[in-house]
Amino acid sequence: MAETDTYTSYRTEEYVVKEEPFYLPVGDEVELFEVAYSQQMPVLLKGPTGTGKTRFVEYMSYRLGRPITKVTRSRRDGGQSKGSSVPLMTIACHEDLTASDLVGRYLLEGDETRWMDGPLARAVKVGAICYLDEVVEARKDTTVLIHPLTDHRRLLPIDKRGEIIEAHAGFLMVLSYNPGYQSALKDLKHSTRQRFMAMEFNAPPPELEAQIIEHESGASASVSLALAKLGEKVRNLKDHGLQEGVGTRLLIYAGKLINNGIAPRRACQVAVTWALTDDQQVQRSIDEVINSIFE
């Protein structure tokens, strides 16, 4: 995307994934998603951080846009001519994210007000995949929008303008959430979660994870395997001093550091141990595992 000294800017609804993202399927998730997309079934991605949820959505957005896709586009009109992929609208949810942030608002421009569509409204109009990352972080009033969009109605009401938008056939809502760390307060309501097909993401098996690390970081196969092993061992500490196991992302960071000449033990310390926890004892234990695995 970004060249050396220029940058490219897109209108949000026009951003498409141009290059095929690297994604290594662990199970039947690709197939499941394709069917879900074709059947306009909203998808909930569950899983701890760094297990590839976002990458998966990117990958699917790219894959679904390609004409060779096996999915029968029964209900889609062929409006997606200019890109080779389904537009992807990723919205990172935070605790101050309100419904208006999603739908849109009036702006003052000169002597007039002008309505500005929010990302959700744009996605609904162009038929994009709207990916709400960490949805439980968003304010509760967002559910008002999510609900009508994710059942048979597929409608986005815009109260301020007195409008209702019918979603484009290609629109799909995808939520991600991490069931682990949020408090009971931040759990997803049943009325919400029962509108989605849910897919669980967990750390891939070591061999696959090693391949991923190797591909993403450029580290050697043996280093990648060792990193995957480290990942497996560290994940054993979940709930034993660690709130979350280590995600693949961190292992990839470690791989990149090693690949660029940082000593393996040190690389793992900064990319894994220190990134994961502040508890000194747990840090020490992880360091010891690292010391055992790496010379």
Partner 1 sequence: MQQVTLAESEEKLQRYPKELNEALREAWSAVSGTLSDEEMAAWVGWGVAIAQQAGRSWEAAREYFRASPAAVQALPFVHLKQWGYWGNALAEESPAASSAYFRASPRIVGTLKPWDVPEWAQIGRRLYGRGRRSGVLTTRYFEVSGDLLSVLSFSELQNLVGMMEAIAERSVDEAASFLSLSSEVLPTLREDTRSCLSLISSLLGREWQQATGCLQVVGEALARVERVERSRYLSLVGRVAENGGVNVPAFLRDSSAALGQLEGYIHVHVLNMADSLSRVDHAVVLDYLKGVPQVMRRVSINQLETWYETGVAILKENPEGGAAYFKGESSRSEEVLEKLSTGVELGRVKEVMRLYCRALSALDVEIAAHQAEEAQGKGWVALEKMMAEGATVYLPPVAERFGNKDENFDWYKVVATHQVAHLEFQSFDFSFDRQATQFSDMRSRLLPVPSEDDGEAELVDGRAVGLADIQRFFGLFVDGNLARDIFTAVEDCRLDYRVKVEYPGIRQAYAGVQHLALAERPRLEELPAREAMVELLIRFSLQQGRELMVPERYAGSARALWDIVRPLSSPHALVEDSAEATIRIYQIISQVPNEEVPDEEWQQGDFPDEQTPWESMSDEEWEQLLRELMEAQQQSGEGEEQPYESPPQVDYRGEFKPELMQVISMLRESQRERGAKGETISKGEMERLLAEANQPVTNNQGVDPQRRGMFVTDLVKEVGSRGTPQGAIQQTTMAYDPSYDEEEQGGPLEIKEPASFLYDEWDYRMSDYRSRWCLLREKDMSEGDSTYFTATLDGYAALASQIRRQFELMLPQGLQKVKRQQDGDELELDAVIEAMVDKRSGTSPSEKVYVRRNKVQRDVAVVFLMDMSASTAEAIDESRRLADEWDAPDDPLEYMFWLRSRRGEGVRRSYKRIVDLEKESLVLLIHALETIGDTYGIYGFSGYGRENVDFFVIKDVQEALSDRVKRRIDKVSPLQATRMGPAIRHAVTKLDQLEARTKFLILISDGRPQDRGYSREGVEKEYAIHDTRVALLETRRRGITPFCLTVDKEGHDYLRSMCQDMGYEVLADIHSLPRRLPALYRSLTV
What residues make contact with partner 1 under the rule CB under 8 A?
A: 95-96, 98, 100, 105-106, 108, 111, 113, 139, 160, 183, 226, 229, 233-234, 236-237, 240-241, 265, 281-282, 284-286, 288-295
Between 66 and 160, name the residue whose CB sits nearer to partner 1. Answer: 160
Q: Which residues make Cβ contacts (< 8 Å) with residue 232, sequence separation at least 6?
A: 203, 206, 209
Instruction: Look at the block and give the residue holding tokens 């306009």.
Output: 40
Structure tokens at 147: 């609900």
Beta carbon of residue 75, minimum distance to partner 1 (angstroms, whole number): 34
**Between 171 and 294, whose beta carbon lies closer to partner 1?**
294
Nearer to partner 1, 5 or 295 (CB): 295
283: exposed, middle or buried (Cβ count in 10 Å: 0-12, 13-18, 19+)? middle
Q: How far is the CB of 226 from partner 1 (least distance, A)?
A: 8
Q: Which lies closer to partner 1 via its Cβ, residue 78 or residue 110?
A: 110
Residue 38 vs 248, nearer CB to partner 1 = 248
User: Residue 235: enclosing H or E segment and its boundaries?
Assistant: helix 221-235
**Following DSSP, what letter does each residue of 25-59 receive, concatenated?**
--SSHHHHHHHHHHTT--EEEE--TTSSHHHHHHH
Tell the smallest beta-carbon distance from residue 6 to partner 1 (Å).
28
Distance CA 127, CA 33 (A): 16
Query: Around 38, how many Cα atoms within 13 Å sit in the side-chain half-sphere?
Result: 13
Instruction: Kindly report the number of other CB atoms within 10 A of residue 14's CB atom.
Output: 13
Q: How far is the CB of 209 from partner 1 (least distance, A)?
A: 16
Residue 91 beta carbon to partner 1: minimum distance, rounded to whole angstroms: 16
Nearer to partner 1, 166 or 288 (CB): 288
d(CA 146, CA 286): 41
Smallest distance, partner 1 to C-beta of residue 139, A: 7
